[in-house]
């Protein structure tokens, strides 16, 4: 800013600090809760400062049987399940939408736009809408309680196809013509030119889709009955209801804390590419 | 090295024919410029030779092969695009080597060719940079380099200089010409700039509305334009045109004056006179009421109308001339500098 108005600066900082506090407070409470023992968490004013049981809770949650007194799956197994599901969904979505966008933009075939709009219309059919028929199909294919069952029904993605189509449309035609004169066939062009040119968009989409996959709740809840296949997001809810006594907040909050780590890691690791992918227009 | 033959070439999009029965023979090592206003089909014609557009009917041969149905990569051509079309994620070296890599040349050969081309174009020190780190002129050279390393029998240029500033354009124009002479590769160059066309081409193909207006050397086009279009397109400032009556005794100007000379044609016609062929002469028959003067330094352009008419005229006079707006200047013109065109078909009338 060119103006120098100290009161305005102070005011904007107060607002910024307030905003950060509002966002950060629940996370702080989650962290604090994960560092106390079970009994302390049930006493009236909830603690605002960390206690001394962090490593104990950590071990019990990650490698032990989770809630004390139950035989639920250890959290590392759920993290693994969630990780597998999120990676399969994001990887699968990116691969399929890249190929379909490639077909729609660069090939002439009958009903090309028809197919494009058909893909587009599936935007109106998220998993919640088609949950019964999809479940029926997955069950008949014998994919219940498997990673395939968790991820395949969520892989088709109109949004990603549409996004890659837009990205490909910004790549000048001369790039294709030049590659043709260089003797590159369609798949060569796809690998050598298109994929590197959409690198940042792929990264941005990966971040979004990884979090989308990680946060899946309804679908895993429906098709997993085996506790070994439980994902971490659904387990948090189950933990609340599992014990008949009062909830063990220290364990539940530790689980929540662990559930946050992979998405945060993905966002931080890919932040630079992510921002580039969403903002850069220069091809 | 190869000659190129275009025979009865037609391009149509649906029912709209955009190129009409193009005929042309290009000799081995010749530099041909296809020139015309935008939308005349010149780029389409070039892209048909490159194999980027399909041929509706007719034949294109490169060397002694008919290439109508060959993929661009199999036609033994290289093309330089208007926006260079360099691959942004590859270094200059990778850009130049990409086509050779696909053709599975041994790495040693690729390196040798790239280094040689880089040497010729003086871009050796940029080989490891990405295209976005280069200036427009350097990118232009890389695009040329990519064409050279393929050692093709035909170079195709699609307005390669139009993204450069005026000074660089003149410099690159000379370099392209020198390079083509040195490599002796048959080249087709598309431009809308008539100065570029005149300076570069061994022969020019003037296209207008999908028809070849004239195909000849720059001097032929200047001295004996085949149609009103060519006459107006080649030369700057453009030729003056006057509606005249031709009879056995001479050419009757709209002012009523008679330019003597014998002509085989009789009746109405269009007279063309180049501005630089109007010689100041106080007893001259052509009077111009000057209303604007452009000082170009070496010469001066006098814009105005033919005295007593509304017909616009331009005269180009050597040296500095200062004059008031509205004054009349008189000019004469040598009879061999007159061009007569049929007023209906716009074709040249030979005297």
- Whole-number Cα distances in Å, A207 to A60, A200, A213: 30, 11, 10
Alpha-carbon distance B142 to B134, whole Å? 9
Interacting residues of B62 by C-beta distance below 8 A, sequence separation 6+:
B2, B3, B4, B49, B75, B76, B77, B153, B154
Alpha-carbon distance B191 to B202, whole Å? 14
- In-domain check, residue A136: yes
- In-domain check, residue A47: no
- In-domain check, residue A10: no
Q: Find the CATH number of the domain harbouring A188.
A: 1.10.3720.10
- In-domain check, residue A53: no
Answer yes or no: do B72 and A180 touch at CB < 8 A: yes
CA B239 to chain centre: 16
Answer yes or no: do B81 and A188 touch at CB < 8 A: no
CB of B88 within 8 Å of a chain A CB? The answer is yes
Q: What is the mean pLDDT of chain B?
A: 90
Nearest CB to B99 within list A172, A183, A197: A183
- Whole-number Cα distances in Å, A146 to A21, A94, A150, A237: 40, 21, 6, 21
Note whether B198 and B236 are within 8 A (CB): no
Number of domains in chain A: 1
CB of B162 within 8 Å of a chain A CB? The answer is no
- In-domain check, residue A17: no
- Whole-number Cα distances in Å, B299 to A53, B275, B340: 94, 11, 26
- In-domain check, residue A32: no
Write out pLDDT tens, residues B194-212.
Answer: 889 999 999 999 999 999 9
Interacting residues of B238 by C-beta distance below 8 A, sequence separation 6+:
B232, B275, B314
Tell me the average confidence (pLDDT) per consecutive run of 10 residues in chain A, 283 residues long: 78 94 91 83 78 82 68 81 93 93 92 89 83 91 89 86 91 91 92 91 91 91 85 83 72 88 92 78 52
Alpha-carbon torsion B93, B99, B102, B106, what sign?
negative
* Rounded (5°) CA angle A36-A38-A43: 85
Q: What is the pLDDT of residue A281?
A: 56
CB of B302 within 8 Å of a chain A CB? The answer is no
Q: What percent of chain B has pLDDT over 90?
A: 62
Instruction: Give the distance between the most distant pair of CA atoms in chain B.
Output: 76
Q: What is the pLDDT of residue A283?
A: 47
- In-domain check, residue A7: no
Write out pLDDT tens, residues B241-278.
Answer: 999 988 888 888 888 888 877 777 788 899 999 999 99
Half-sphere exposure of A94 (CA within 13 A, CB side): 21
| B52 to chain A: closest CA residue | A177
- Residue from A106, A176, A182 to probe the interface with B (highest B Cβ count within 10 Å): A182
Note whether B334 and B277 are within 8 A (CB): yes
Question: Comparing C-alpha atoms, which of B309, B339, B350, B308 is closest to residue B240?
Answer: B339
pTM: 0.81
What band does B7 get if pLDDT is binned at 50, 70 and 90?
very high
Helix (DSSP H) and strand (DSSP E) numbers for chain A? 15, 0
A199 chain-B contacts, CB cut-off 8 A: 89
Q: What is the pLDDT of residue B117?
A: 92
Domain that holds residue A134: 62-283
- In-domain check, residue A109: yes
């Amino acid at each position: 800013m060119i103006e120098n108005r100290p009161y305005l600066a102070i005011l904007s900082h107060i607002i910024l600090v307030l905003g950060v506090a509002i966002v950060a407070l629940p996370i702080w409470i989650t962290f604090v809760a994960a560092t106390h023992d079970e009994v302390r968490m049930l006493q009236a004013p909830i603690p605002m400062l960390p206690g001394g049981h962090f490593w104990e809770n950590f071990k019990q949650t990650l490698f032990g049987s989770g809630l004390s007194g139950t035989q639920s799956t250890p959290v590392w197994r759920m993290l693994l399940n969630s990780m597998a599901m999120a990676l399969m969904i994001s990887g699968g979505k990116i691969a399929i939408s890249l190929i379909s966008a490639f077909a729609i933009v660069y090939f002439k075939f009958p009903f090309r736009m028809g197919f494009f709009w058909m893909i587009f219309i599936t935007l109106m059919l998220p998993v919640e809408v088609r949950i019964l028929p999809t479940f029926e199909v997955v069950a008949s294919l014998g994919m219940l309680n498997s990673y395939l069952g968790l991820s395949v029904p969520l892989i088709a993605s109109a949004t990603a196809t549409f996004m890659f189509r837009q990205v490909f449309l910004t790549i000048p035609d001369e790039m294709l013509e030049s590659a043709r004169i260089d003797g590159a066939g369609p798949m060569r062009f796809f690998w050598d030119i298109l994929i590197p040119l959409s690198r940042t968009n792929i990264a941005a989409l990966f971040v979004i889709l990884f979090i989308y996959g990680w946060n899946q709740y309804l679908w895993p809840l429906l098709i997993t009955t085996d506790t070994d296949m439980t994902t971490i997001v659904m387990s948090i809810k189950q933990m609340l209801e599992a014990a008949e006594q009062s909830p063990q907040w220290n364990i539940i909050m530790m689980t929540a804390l662990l559930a946050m780590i992979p998405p945060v890691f993905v966002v931080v690791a890919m932040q630079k590419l992510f921002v580039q992918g969403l903002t850069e227009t220069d091809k | 090295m190869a000659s190129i033959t275009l025979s009865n070439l037609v391009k149509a999009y649906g029912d709209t024919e955009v190129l009409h029965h193009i005929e042309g023979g290009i000799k081995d090592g010749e530099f041909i410029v296809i020139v015309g206003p935008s939308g005349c089909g010149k780029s389409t014609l070039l892209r048909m030779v490159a194999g980027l557009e399909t041929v509706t009917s007719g034949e294109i041969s490169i060397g002694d092969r008919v290439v109508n149905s060959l993929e661009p990569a199999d036609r033994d051509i290289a093309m330089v695009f208007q926006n260079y079309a360099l691959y942004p994620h590859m270094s200059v070296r990778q850009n130049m080597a990409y086509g050779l890599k696909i053709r599975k040349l041994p790495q040693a050969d690729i390196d040798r060719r790239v280094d040689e081309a880089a040497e010729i174009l003086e871009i050796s020190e940029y080989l490891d940079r990405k295209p976005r780190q280069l200036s427009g002129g350097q990118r232009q050279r890389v695009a040329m380099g990519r064409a050279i390393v393929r050692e093709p029998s035909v170079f195709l240029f699609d307005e390669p200089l139009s993204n450069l500033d005026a000074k660089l354009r003149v410099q690159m124009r000379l370099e392209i010409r020198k390079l083509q002479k040195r490599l002796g590769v048959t080249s087709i160059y598309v431009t809308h700039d008539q100065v570029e066309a005149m300076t570069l081409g061994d022969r020019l193909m003037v296209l207008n509305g999908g028809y070849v207006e004239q195909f000849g050397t720059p001097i032929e086009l200047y001295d004996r334009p085949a149609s009103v279009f060519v006459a107006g397109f080649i030369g700057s400032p453009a030729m003056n045109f006057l509606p005249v009556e031709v009879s056995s005794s001479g050419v009757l100007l709209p002012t009523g004056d008679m330019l003597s000379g014998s002509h085989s044609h009789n009746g109405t016609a269009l007279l063309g006179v180049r501005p630089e062929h109007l010689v100041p002469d106080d007893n001259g028959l052509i009077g111009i009421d000057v209303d604007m003067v452009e000082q170009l330094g070496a010469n001066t352009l006098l814009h105005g109308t033919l005295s007593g008419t509304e017909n616009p005229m331009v005269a180009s006079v050597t040296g500095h001339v200062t004059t008031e707006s509205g004054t009349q200047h008189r000019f004469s013109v040598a009879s061999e500098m007159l061009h007569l065109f049929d007023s209906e078909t716009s074709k040249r009338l030979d005297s």
